[in-house]
Amino acid sequence: MRARLTRRTLFSLVLGLLLLSTAAAMRGCMGPYQHLLSQLQRQAHLTEDTSSLLEPYIHLQGLNTPILRGSCTEHPGAFPSKDALRGLSKRSFLRTVNATLDRVLKGLVALQKQLLNNDLKELETARQNIQGIRNNIHCMSWLLGGSSETAEPMQTGPGSWLQLTSTLDVFQAKLEGCRFLRGYHRFMGSVGWVFREWGESPSRSRRHSPRWALHKGVRRTRLFRRGKRPVPRGQLPW
Amino acid sequence: MLALQIWLVKALLIFLTTESIGELLDPCGHIDPESPIIQRGSNFTAVCVLKEKCMDYFHVNANYIIWKTNHLTVPKEQYTVINRTAASVTFTNVVSPNLQLTCNILTFGQIEQNVYGITVLSGFPPEKPKNLNCIVNEGRKMMCQWDPGRETYLETNFTLKSEWATEKFDDCKTKPDTPNSCLVDYSPVYFVNIEVWVEAENALGNITSDHINFDPIDKVKPNPPRNLSVSNSEELSSILKLTWINPSINSVIRLKYNILYRTKDASTWSQIPPEDTASTRSSFTVQDLKPFTEYVFRVRCMKEDGKGFWSEWSEDASGITYEDRPSKAPSFWYRINPSHSHSYRSVQLIWKTLPPFEANGKILDYEVTLTRWKSYLQNYTVNDTKLTVNLTNDRYTATLTARNIVGKSDTSILTIPAYDFQGKLMESKCYLITVTPVYANGPGSPESTKAYLKQAPPSKGPTVRTKKVGKNEAVLEWDQLPVDVQNGFIRNYTIFYRTIIGNETAVNVDSSHTEYTLSSLTSDTLYMVRMTAYTDEGGKDGPEFTFTTPKFAQGEIEAIVVPVCLAFLLTTLLGVLFCFNKRDLIKKHIWPNVPDPSKSHIAQWSPHTPPRHNFNSKDQMYSDGNFTDVSVVEIEANDKKPFPEDLKSLDLFKKEKISTEGHSSGIGGSSCMSSSRPSISSSDENESTQNTSSTVQYSTVVHSGYRHQVPSVQVFSRSESTQPLLDSEERPEDLQLVDNVDSSDGILPRQQYFKQNCNQPETCPDISHFERSKQVSSGNEEDFMRLKQQQISNQNSQSCASGQMKMFQEVSAADAFGPGTEGQVERFETVGIEAAIDEGMPKSYLPQTVRQGGYMPQ
């Protein structure tokens, strides 16, 4: 009897802690699904604009010539392609975007070091915006009933990320930074595309019911079987 | 070495000094608590504890303690000596924000010496911060404001806290001089909801405001639009086009605008309707402006959906609308200068410049034409505002127009009279005299007045007419007299009105009126009215006018007729409703239900199971609740059959228990509008069989109706037999004839019996059947039966049951047994009558009757 009581107490304690932690984690995630989706769409729209970061970088680094601009192309495979992103489930998509942006943040830090004393305030703005996007992705993941960090995201090509090693000369480092930023803007454009698809296609959004819908007792039928869903390269099941 | 010695000396000196100061400053006691902060209005107690050393030295104890606040001695009543070394003082309802409390002792019983002192602070705990709101000035950091609540009188710290779902931001601590706002030190990120709240804390407590959660983009105060410029249009002189550069946040959000404008000299602003500027734009065309007028504009913007704050106003910008042709001709006059020549005269034409709002632009020049008669024309183009010309003594007409870059104004015309012009003024004519002042720079505003050389009475009186005639009043109207017939200033009118026989009444009316209401008139009366207009010199009557007041006021007839009609309609409606509610009763009285044989069918034929009646059970007798039915049983009474046989059949019938109801059937039982109760059946099966072969078989219509529809009235149908009885039943008149014939042939007449439930009076009137029956059954007793019928009718309203039964018995006795058997009939009065059935008489029917709703074989 005593052991039973203890077990019950422990169970209640764990449940309470879980609820508290969930509540604490979701503090600030107040908006409804559509509002959050709208925010993500607009954030992606803002960050895909090259004038927000790439163009200032090009001007600052003296890369504003047609030839150099032509060389400033995205590394193939550095960022997930639009088709790959569109093929992901909502949760996988969010995880992938979250992980990619995490690496973009690291890349921005590297760029900042590369710039040394050349202050590029757009870098800090971009960093804050990316943090904001990740926050919204976190909330969206919660609304969809999952977490943006609990599973492994889609992998990108090996060695495709910004590596500003000491072996690179200054020019190459600048060009690498440019190509990295080019990929970043393109990636955010693709992300915005997918988010807009979420808003335009209700059937697609049913693949993962928002948490608010589940809370209302709405039970959705799973429209696609996991095995038949197009799985992009490197994608891990949810 | 030397340095070491110096250092040691210094150290020793410092030590000795410190020790001596310590001794000197060592107090003789202390107050507890040391630094109290209390809530304002609460009680406070402080305890002063003396040191033994001082007590011995100064020969004091706790009784020698004196408390002082702000150098004023606290009354002894507030002291409490705790023990020899400690005494306390208590203050109630402390309201002073800062209280200097000292503990003193009377050394040697007379010298007051301070022992210890503290400062007591009082205040309030912080209130919950309210109305927390934040603003994001574009390009700057977010600032939040709130209402800190009441003054705490204590040092209170306000901390603004903010966080995302995934990140917590640094606290924003307020500055002492701005405890109700804080500027965060991070740039807001748009499109990410942030949660913000305020924590207030002081020595008496802490409290947190409500949390607010918002997207910083919804709190944006944009920068004002810049580079506002104004341009006009040559095509339209009433528009100005504004252009500006939107703030950079326009790349993130859509904007709406407020545009204010005013003329340069005006002090109040007008606003463009906000609905016209409710979307993002960088230009706007303002319409309906005055030509060639300078306007000043300003514009501001905010988020299109109205969330956030308006920007500051932009810098003012001004512009002038394009010119338009002068809207008015300049007024001008002439001045004739003295001339030495007799044939010419020097005439100076003078005019004023048009004000800007009439000039509608810059006046380039004036065009003057002078016309003598109609042939000679002189044109002048003048930049000045005067023109001097030499004219002959003839009469001239001068015209003047002003011209600007767009066009010319209308023309002003001036007549210059001939040199020898002499006016001839007439009496009784109205003249308009205009005086125009002529200044050095041109003519002033003219003033005009009407005048008569001499007045006279009007040459014609006003014509009055009625505008509206009521029962007791009439509205008269008239036209002002034309100037030609006025002959002077009309001072007033007088209205005279009278009836044919009455005195004339006069009413004076002011000359400015053209309408007057005569009141207190008599209805349906002819009135004669005339009107006189008066000048200063007398009056003139107008033509007489007659009108008749109506007998009734407007709507009076309607007020009588409408309620009467409504009452009639209401009565009719109530009558219809009553008839509708009582339709069954009415129908019973007027249109009794006649069964339609074509829709009948035999539901169940039960010759083998004669219906059983429990005549003693009232419930069974009335079980279906339908008491309005009448069963007619036709019997053939054989006068050859001895009466005891009838009794036998009665006995046999009594043995039969009719168990079925509703759709039972019987042989020889003819029924019309009968209840669902079973009709009379034959006394036994054999008889039934025998009778079936030669008698009409009737059956009861099934209750359930056609295809489960419940019939409104239960009817009985009969079989397909073509027996004469059926025909006679369907055609009673035939039956009567046949029966009469039968009766004359020595056959007992058929007798019709009524089964009528008399619990419902409406069933009683169906007496015609009875009458018919009586006629059929016994023609020679017709008079007797009519008498009975009359008796029954009289009893209908009382007790139909008993009346009917009595009637039944008498009829039965008279028909079936004749007068001689009356005594026997009386013995069966409770069971009714049953005709005897002769087995040898196949056409006989088993009669039946009813007593109190049941059937009784007889």
* pLDDT 10s digits, B544-582: 999 999 988 878 888 889 999 999 999 999 999 998 898
User: Cβ of A43 and B192 within 8 Å?
Assistant: yes
Task: Give the number of other CB atoms < 10 A from CB of residue B485.
Answer: 14
Smallest CA–CA distance, residue B242 to chain A, in Å, is 28
- Rounded CA gap, B293 and B357, in Å? 8
- Rounded CA gap, B367 and A35, in Å? 71
Q: Strand B412-416 relative to strand B396-403: parallel, antiparallel, unpaired?
A: antiparallel
8-state DSSP, B597: G
Taking contacts as CB-CB distances below 8 angstroms, the residues of chain A near B250 are none
Position with higher pLDDT, A9 vs B840: A9
Smallest CA–CA distance, residue A31 to chain B, in Å, is 8
- Rounded CA gap, B398 and B537, in Å? 41
Give residue B283's identity as a one-letter amino acid code: S
Q: List phi, psi (to 5°) of B520.
A: 60, 40
Smallest CA–CA distance, residue B193 to chain A, in Å, is 7
Taking contacts as CB-CB distances below 8 angstroms, the residues of chain B near A27 are 163, 165, 195
Predicted TM-score of the model (pTM): 0.55
What domains sit in chain A, N to C, each tagged with a CATH number? 28-157+167-200+208-225 (1.20.1250.10)
Taking contacts as CB-CB distances below 8 angstroms, the residues of chain B near A135 are 164-167, 192
Give residue B736's identity as a one-letter amino acid code: Q
Q: Is the separation of the CB atoms in B636 and B753 below 8 Å?
A: no
Q: At B667, list the tokens.
A: 């042989």
At B808, is the pLDDT very low, low, confident or very high (cuts 50, 70, 90)? very low
User: Cβ of B191 and A43 within 8 Å?
Assistant: yes
At A191, is the pLDDT very low, low, confident or very high (cuts 50, 70, 90)? very high
| Residue bearing tokens 């011995």 | B56
User: Cβ of B213 and A28 within 8 Å?
Assistant: yes
- Rounded CA gap, B642 and B619, in Å? 36
Q: In what order do the strands lie in the sheet with B344-351?
A: B332-337, B344-351, B386-392
Q: In chain B, whose CA is at the least distance from the CA of A41?
A: B191
Q: Angle CA(B337)–CA(B340)–CA(B341) in degrees, nearest 5?
A: 105
| Residue bearing tokens 């909801």 | B193
User: Cβ of B192 and A135 within 8 Å?
Assistant: yes
In 3D space, the residue among B333, B325, B391, B390 whose CA is nearest the CA of residue B359 turns out to be B325
User: Cβ of A27 and B163 within 8 Å?
Assistant: yes
Q: Which of residues 208-237 of B touch A (CB under 8 A)?
A: 213, 215
User: Cβ of A135 and B195 within 8 Å?
Assistant: no
Residues B450/B454/B457/B463 CA torsion (nearest 10 deg): -20
- What pLDDT shows up at residue B254? 95
Considering only CB atoms, A28 lies closest to which of B190, B193, B251, namely: B193
Taking contacts as CB-CB distances below 8 angstroms, the residues of chain A near B187 are 125, 128
Q: At B482, list the tokens.
A: 């034309």
Choose, out of B192, B195, B210, B307, the residue to mutate when testing the contact with A (most A CBs < 10 Å): B192
CA B146 vs CA B69, B133, B221, B247, B402: distances in Å: 37, 6, 17, 28, 65
Please state the length of chain A.
238
Smallest CA–CA distance, residue A72 to chain B, in Å, is 25
Q: Is the separation of the CB atoms in A180 and A126 below 8 Å?
A: no
Most confident of A215-229, B222-236, B630-644, B718-732: B222-236
CA B823 vs CA B246, B752, B850: distances in Å: 125, 21, 20
Considering only CB atoms, A26 lies closest to which of B165, B215, B252, namely: B165
User: Cβ of B164 and A135 within 8 Å?
Assistant: yes
- Rounded CA gap, B688 and B681, in Å? 8
pLDDT higher than 50, residue B324: yes
User: Cβ of A132 and B189 within 8 Å?
Assistant: yes
Q: Is the separation of the CB atoms in B462 and B479 below 8 Å?
A: yes
- What pLDDT shows up at residue A13? 53
- What pLDDT shows up at residue B97? 86
Q: At B583, list the tokens.
A: 């339709």
Considering only CB atoms, A139 lies closest to which of B165, B167, B187, namely: B165
pLDDT higher than 80, residue A11: no
Q: Is the separation of the CB atoms in B791 and B761 below 8 Å?
A: no
Taking contacts as CB-CB distances below 8 angstroms, the residues of chain A near B186 are 128
Share of chain B above pLDDT 70, in %: 66
Identify how many contiguous H helices and E strands chain A contains and give both numbers: 10, 0
- What pLDDT shows up at residue A194? 96
For residue B316, give every residue at least 6 positions away whose Cβ sits within 8 Å of its Cβ, in sequence order, or none. B228, B296, B297, B298
Q: What average pLDDT does chain B have?
A: 74
At A3, is the pLDDT very low, low, confident or very high (cuts 50, 70, 90)? low
- Rounded CA gap, B711 and B721, in Å? 24
Reported as a single tens digit per residue, the pLDDT across B638-690 is 444 444 444 444 444 444 434 333 343 333 333 333 333 333 333 343 444 34
At A148, is the pLDDT very low, low, confident or very high (cuts 50, 70, 90)? low
At B10, is the pLDDT very low, low, confident or very high (cuts 50, 70, 90)? low
- Rounded CA gap, B369 and B396, in Å? 10
CA A27 vs CA A65, A148, B210, B562, B708: distances in Å: 47, 16, 14, 74, 68
User: Cβ of A132 and B213 within 8 Å?
Assistant: no
Q: Strand B130-137 relative to strand B220-221: parallel, antiparallel, unpaired?
A: parallel
Give residue A165's identity as a one-letter amino acid code: T
In 3D space, the residue among B168, B185, B252, B247 whose CA is nearest the CA of residue B217 turns out to be B252
Q: Is the separation of the CB atoms in B852 and B618 below 8 Å?
A: yes
Taking contacts as CB-CB distances below 8 angstroms, the residues of chain B near A136 are 191-192
Q: Is the separation of the CB atoms in B136 and B146 below 8 Å?
A: no
Considering only CB atoms, A46 lies closest to which of B167, B194, B252, namely: B252
Which contacts of B176-181 are long-range, i.e. CB under 8 A and separated by 24 or more positions?
B179/B148, B180/B145, B180/B146, B180/B147, B180/B148, B181/B143, B181/B144, B181/B145, B181/B146
pLDDT higher than 90, residue B182: yes
A interface with B, Cβ–Cβ below 8 Å: 25-31, 39-40, 42-43, 46, 49, 125, 128-129, 131-136, 138-139
Reported as a single tens digit per residue, the pLDDT across B289-306 is 999 999 999 999 999 999
Q: At B768, list the tokens.
A: 């015609």
Considering only CB atoms, A136 lies closest to which of B187, B192, B252, namely: B192
Smallest CA–CA distance, residue B212 to chain A, in Å, is 9
- Rounded CA gap, B826 and B831, in Å? 10
8-state DSSP, A206: T
Smallest CA–CA distance, residue B583 to chain A, in Å, is 57
Q: Which of residues 243-262 of B touch A (CB under 8 A)?
A: 251-252
